[in-house]
Structure 1
Amino acid sequence: MKKTVLTTAVLTALVSVPSFAATVYKDDSTELKVGGRVEFRGDFIGSGGAEVDGTMEDQSRARLNLKGKTDIGNGLSAFGVYEAEQKTGKSEFKNRYMYAGVSADLGDFSVGRQDMAAVIISDMTDITEFSGVQQVIDSSSDKQDSVFAYRGEFDALQVQTTYQANSGDSQDKYSIAGLYSLPMGLDLGLAYSGGDVDKNNSEDQILGGVAYSLENLYLAGTYSQGSLNDSEDFSAYELVASYKIASKFTLAGLYTFQENDPNGAAKFDAVDGFELVGYYKLNSNFRTYLSYYMNQLDEEKDPQGKTVEGEDTLRLGVRYDF
């Protein structure tokens, strides 16, 4: 088994991102798969840093994805991916992914709404309910429109490059990333992303990551620094640990932090918190989880005395994947 495939399997077990889907059609040259999830998420105490007025803030959602692949000859295959999400209380579906491309021996070439290259590095620590701090700027984030991508795997090395061609003036962005997996379970990753925000501002981020997996244990850390625009810099880091205690139960911990440094003003913390979460998987389709996020930001209150920033969150989740 390739080490990159092994790492993907470990992350799938930890984060429980579904890598399976039902094959609804298949012949000698064409395949279509359908998958998705239905997920209840209830936030108690606080949600998004703000105090919950009543008992619970409902953050439930449902997702549906379609993945097609067909042989087009000469060692090439074409593919298409679509995924939509509907949140509770909303009548419309929102596109998460929508792209198509061609696979060859050298890798995959695709265009559409998809992840920027740096996401393969930020994913090293984005494994819990409140992780993901490294997607600070658009050029290093997932689910971006109008992205041209190349993604290739060469034994232990993954390489990705992406370019976002925006319709707005002076708003194009790019990202390049590499992830190398050593035989002893150690992964090393590096990414650089940047681009124009508008005619007068640009953004950039350099992101590094290291991860180690050994049987049921997974440890990882990421660090980045860069510019939100020409007048504000940032630095961010994220640390995670996960251990599969039993065949159905996994415990994970997170520390996430981001500091912003605007020109002519004092530095301030944009993100600062700890998380402890337990996942209980009854089988590959159904799981529950309980997460507690300890928000370390200073509390801010509105004139009525309600906390609008800095509140903790207790999240209960029940999820079915298909």
Structure 2
Amino acid sequence: MKMAAIATAITTTLVSGSALAAEVYSSDGTSLNIGGRVEFRGDFLGESSGAELEGSMDNKSRFRVNVGGNTQITNELSGFGFYEAEQAVISSGDNDPNTSFTQRYLYAGLSGNFGAVSFGRQDTALVQLSQMSDIGTYTGAQKSFIDAGNEQINNNIVYAGMFAGDALSLKANAILSSQKDQNSYGLSGIYTLPMGLGIGLGYAAGDQWLFAPAAETSQFMGGLNYTVGQFYVAGTYTQGKIKVSTGDVNFTGYEFAGQYKFDRGFVAQAAYGKQQADESPTNSSDEEFNNYVELTGKYYFNSSIQSYLSYKYNMLKDADNSLRLGLRYDF
């Protein structure tokens, strides 16, 4: 097992927010990369949430920028750091600009033959499982039930390692809160067979302030994906509970997605997502807060710029469908 090469691959995955991130500095074993995206996203027919669109277009455009660095300490140990922020457009008739950036990631770590350990605001261990089916425009809600399984979480310590000749990806995390009774943890693994079939399992649990007083939470997630040639298909399932004073709030989620890459830059995607709870964490009157089919077509002009058209058929009660037009430039 080439552990040094594996540790380098883990560090690259943690640090690179964009596959096109450009190296702007390299000297004496220390390098610095800058990347990001500029993305126009316009929603028509209805808002992506299912709410009625009163005007002609809901502008969901955004700009992201990230900075990542890596430094060689010894032949077997290196350090890294990463920061990413996002600025969104205010979709309003009064033309107000958004002058603030939202912090997405901020972490530093060490990597070596043991894998990589990082500290800061970053994804939990379960996110590598939700990403198996999170390939579309509207996918990705499997991770959003509890903090212990979500992305971009503060006070997060993460371990990542590759084993069995790169076939097994293991991640573990612990969220150490500054507040009483808000610590949590997670563990996940994905094993990919030589035939292209990936099998993932994970569990997260802990306390958080979803309700007052602090609620005890737990979540299980499983996933399968399969890659052959230009075809990719995946499915994830999650279930768990939030224990509150009035009783347990149980939740479940399903997400299935697939894509096919045609020649000359065309990609076709389809997805189905459904997430529900006894009481929604954001609205106690909505048991089912996602139930939709997504159809997306993408065209890559080159590796830096792509366009896409996505249609969301919303099956929630009294919810509108949505049509999204996007143009994205990665750097």
TM-score (norm 1): 0.89
Alignment partner for residue 299 of structure 2, among 258, 266, 280? 280
Q: Which runs of no fewer than 5 residues in structure 2 stay unpaired?
A: 91-97
**Counterparts of 2:253 and 2:317, CA distance in 1:** 18
Matches within 5 A, 1:29-108: 29-47=29-47, 48-89=49-90, 90-108=98-116
The amino acid of 1:36's aligned partner reads G
Matches within 5 A, 1:1-322: 18-47=18-47, 48-89=49-90, 90-135=98-143, 136-154=145-163, 155=165, 156-198=167-209, 199-230=213-244, 231-262=248-279, 268-299=287-318, 310-322=319-331
* Deviates most, 288-297 or 193-202: 193-202
**Counterparts of 2:314 and 2:63, CA distance in 1:** 27
Shift of 1:261: 2.3
Matched-pair contact (CA < 8 Å) for 1:133–1:237: no
Deviations 1:175-199 (Å, cap 9, x if unpaired)?
A: 1000101000000000101111245
**Counterparts of 1:274 and 1:69, CA distance in 2:** 41
Matched-pair contact (CA < 8 Å) for 2:182–2:214: no
Shift of 1:200: 4.8
Distance 1:228 1:49, change over 3 A: farther
Matched-pair contact (CA < 8 Å) for 1:197–1:229: no
The amino acid of 1:226's aligned partner reads G
SS of 2:129's partner is: helix
**Counterparts of 1:204 and 1:84, CA distance in 2:** 29
SS of 1:50's partner is: coil
Deviations 1:23-52 (Å, cap 9, x if unpaired)?
A: 100123100000011000001111121111
Shift of 1:169: 1.6
**Counterparts of 2:155 and 2:207, CA distance in 1:** 15
The amino acid of 1:134's aligned partner reads Q
The amino acid of 2:312's aligned partner reads Y
Match of 2:95 in 1: none
Matched-pair contact (CA < 8 Å) for 2:147–2:208: no
Deviations 1:163-221 (Å, cap 9, x if unpaired)?
A: 11112221111110001010000000001011112455211110000000000000100
**Counterparts of 2:292 and 2:298, CA distance in 1:** 19
Matched-pair contact (CA < 8 Å) for 2:20–2:304: no
Matched-pair contact (CA < 8 Å) for 1:113–1:146: yes
Shift of 1:102: 0.3
SS of 1:134's partner is: helix
**Counterparts of 2:18 and 2:151, CA distance in 1:** 17
Shift of 1:285: 0.4
Distance 1:77 1:200, change over 3 A: closer
Match of 2:93 in 1: none
* Deviates most, 204-213 or 164-173: 164-173
Calculate percent identity across the aligned residue pairs: 42
* Deviates most, 93-102 or 131-140: 131-140
Q: Which runs of no fewer than 5 residues in structure 1 stay unpaired?
A: 300-309
Query: How many residues in Structure 1 have an aligned counterpart in Structure 2?
Result: 299
The amino acid of 2:296's aligned partner reads V
Matched-pair contact (CA < 8 Å) for 2:255–2:271: yes
